[in-house]
Structure 1
Amino acid sequence: MPVLLSFLVTTLQQSGLCHSVRVLETHPFSDRQFALKLRAELFMGDILQVRIYRNEDHIDYSYQLLRENQPVLRWDNKEHFPEISTYPHHFHSPSGQVQPSLLSGEPVADLPEVLRFLTSRSPDQS
């Protein structure tokens, strides 16, 4: 958990999008089971909330953009949409559509992808 937490915080801090990062929750249940929750305040005024739950080799994740404490968009792998081609990975768009996602469930690859997506969008597109 400490290595992943350090990666997440450092990646957010160095992204150029965040002016602060707060670790809200760390729950180490064992060496291979833990939960993390972070919030990064973005320069555009939004918040990126990151949640990771790992149990052995399985990772549940959620990367959610909040504006004025309301959800704007989210990537997650909750197993609710088996019809999506990238199941269980999916993206909740600002319009409310559930779409395929490029995320894989590996935070080291996924967080940079989320940050690239956010960098490429203007505030009114999110």
Structure 2
Amino acid sequence: MDAQQYLTEIKSRLVASPVVETFSIVEDRDLNDRGYFRARVTLTNADFLEIAEYFIIIDDQPQPDRYRYQWMDGTQKILRRRWDNVPHFPDLPSFPHHVHVNAEDNVQSSRPRGITEFLAFLEAEILPEH
């Protein structure tokens, strides 16, 4: 898989996802062995999601290099969760991967996920019977 194929896969997942109402692509870049994707998403429950991922292709597989997935309520004022890997919580066992839960200062360990895997996780959260 190259960067263009991964970008196409991300867009296809957004179109097909049962929790995505609408989305707008802010930026996508194909640099052959790496790339970037950023979009704003309205979810079917009226929540807001902003996703951004710099990725690299290693052994034909996309790997998240830097990412931020921010899930907020529909007013974009209340944080539900934000996953990122900015290296500012070195004491976490999963450093630098972490998630802010319901507040900026409530930080927990997390693991890296690409956008397509993150969307599957989000679908399970919003549609538990799915």
Whether TM exceeds 0.5 here: the answer is yes
Q: Which has the higher contact order (CA 8 A, sep 6+)?
A: 2
Q: Percent identity?
A: 23
TM-score, length-scaled by structure 1: 0.77
Deviates more, 1:108-117 or 1:76-85: 108-117
**How far, CA to CA, are the matches of 1:35 and 1:76 in structure 2?**
15
Provide the aligned length of Structure 1 versus Structure 2.
118
User: Which digits, 9 at most, give the CA deviation of each residue in 1:44-79, with x for residues without a partner?
Assistant: 211111101125656111111133233512111111
Aligned partner of residue 11 in structure 1, secondary structure: helix
Deviates more, 1:39-48 or 1:54-63: 54-63
Moved over 4 A (4+): 55-58
Tell whether 2:27 aligns with 1:25.
yes
TM-score, length-scaled by structure 2: 0.75
Query: Gaps (5+ residues) in structure 2?
Result: 59-63
Decide whether the 8 Å contact of 2:14 with 2:23 is kept in 1.
yes
Query: Gaps (5+ residues) in structure 1?
Result: 121-126
- Root-mean-square deviation over aligned CA pairs: 2.2
Aligned partner of residue 70 in structure 1, secondary structure: coil
